[in-house]
Each structure stands twice: as structure tokens, then as C-alpha cells.
Amino acid sequence: MNFLKKRLFAFAGAFVCSVCASFSAMFESKPEPYKVCLLGCAGVGKTCFAIRVIKGEFREDPQATIGVGFADIKMEVDGKVVQFKLWDTAGQERYRCLVPSYAKGSNAVILMHNLADPNSADGLTEYLSMIPNDCNIVAVVGNKLDLKSGDDVNENKFNFPYFEISAMTGMGVQEVISWVAQKLVELPLCTETTHEELPRPGEKETCAC
């Protein structure tokens, strides 16, 4: 009987310790990485953009290869480390009602349209209301610059910084990500200072597919 009691106490002790350890890990003061969310109609190139940022390459048919959930990105801006999760829909944009919950909690939003489609930017209007109220970092990105003819003029219809990029060639992609990282680093409670060598986006992937 005594033997059983001892075993029971030992087991209970081990259980309590492991619960305490999990709780202390949960509440460690590790800063939460920021959330950066890609919004835009299906087919504008959000997944290709995410893959270009994460892997530094172009996948012509990304849906068949990866359904990106989010990827951790770590960059250095002005001697400070900024970490964020880049969120891409895995096709949820086809069901608009799912998008607001996907965009919830975003610290930055990239609104993407297709430069090769003259009406594509109009499709962004419905996404404006899905940007969280406290999210002040918003960029409008026209993708597929490689398909844009020289005569096309795409005016920025929205009152946000505007970039034209090609996920296919990579043109302008780094500028968008650097702008976002710069804005995140300016947010209060951002990051620690470091001088360590950081992997550049595209060199390291931690993708939660």
C-alpha cells in the first residue's frame, strides 16, 4: 500500500511540475511576432508573392504545390530585429465571409491587385472594411508588372503607399517587404537590438503548411 502511495505521489508531483513548466513557457516574455496579412481577390498573385518572399523563387502554379498558411520572417532594420508572420490565404478569399477572421489581429496589411487586369484594383474596395481598425500599416501592391504594357497607367486609387511589383521576376518585392518591416520596427514595443547576421527573406523558411 505504501509503495502504491509513493508511486501515486511521484506521479502527481511529476504532473504538477510539467503543468508548471508549460505555464511558465507560455508566459515567458518572448515578444509575439507581428502579423502581416495578404488581402486581394483570387488570382492576383498573393501566394506567388508569399513564395517569392519566403523562398526567393516563382511557382507558376502555387496552389498545386504549397497552400501557405503563414511563414515566419525575421529581418534587420536599422540595427533592430523585426519578426513577423506573413499570412497568405489558402484559397479562403473565394469565400469572402472567411476573410475578416483571417485578417483579424493584423499589424500590417498588403492589399494586392493585378496590374494586367484594369478592373482588379476596384476589387480591393471590399477588402478595405476587413482591415482591422487598429492596423495602420497598409500598402497597396499592383502585381504582375511583367504583364503590364508600357502604355498602361495605373493610378493609385487608395490613400495608401503604392508599389508595383512582379512576383514572377521578383521586381519590387523586396521594396514592399522592406517598407513593411520598416513600419513595423517603428511601432512601439517592437524588438531587441542585435548585430547578429540574419537570414534574408527567401534564405530561411519556417512555413506552417
Q: Interface with Mg ion by CB under 5 A: which residues?
A: 46-47
Binding piece for ligand GDP, criterion CB under 6 A, among 19-27, 69-77, 142-150, 197-205 = 142-150
Instruction: Give the list of residues 6+ apart from residue 38 with CB closer than 8 angstroms, or none.
Output: 46, 49, 50, 86, 87, 88, 89, 109, 110, 112
- The residue nearest ligand GDP at its CB is 45
- DSSP-assigned letters across all residues of 59-92: -SSHHHH----EEEEEEEETTEEEEEEEE--SSG
Query: Closest distance between Mg ion and the C-beta of residue 181, in Å?
Result: 22
Nine-digit cell string for 167 = 512576383
State which residue, 43 or 199, has the beta carbon closest to ligand GDP.
43
State which residue, 47 or 191, has the beta carbon closest to Mg ion.
47
State which residue, 83 or 166, has the beta carbon closest to ligand GDP.
166
- At residue 37, the 3 state secondary structure works out as strand
Q: Does residue 48 bind ligand GDP (CB under 6 A)? A: yes
Query: Closest distance between ligand GDP and the C-beta of residue 136, in Å?
Result: 24
Distance CA 144, CA 95 (A): 23
Query: Closest distance between Mg ion and the C-beta of residue 73, in Å?
Result: 18
Distance CA 13, CA 29 (A): 26
142 interacts with, out of Mg ion, ligand GDP, none, CB within 5 to 8 A per kind: none
| Type and span of the H or E element at 52 | helix 46-55
Q: Does residue 43 bind ligand GDP (CB under 6 A)? A: yes
Instruction: Give the list of residues 6+ apart from residue 103 with CB closer than 8 angstroms, or none.
Output: 37, 39, 109, 130, 131, 132
Please check whether residue 148 is in contact with residue 115, taking contact to mean a CB–CB distance below 8 angstroms. Answer: yes
Q: Which residues in the 155-184 window bind ligand GDP by CB under 6 A? A: 166-168
Query: Closest distance between Mg ion and the C-beta of residue 150, in Å?
Result: 28
Q: Which residues in the 78-117 window bind ligand GDP by CB under 6 A? A: none
Q: Which residues bind ligand GDP (CB under 6 A)?
A: 40, 42-48, 60, 62-63, 143-144, 146-147, 166-168
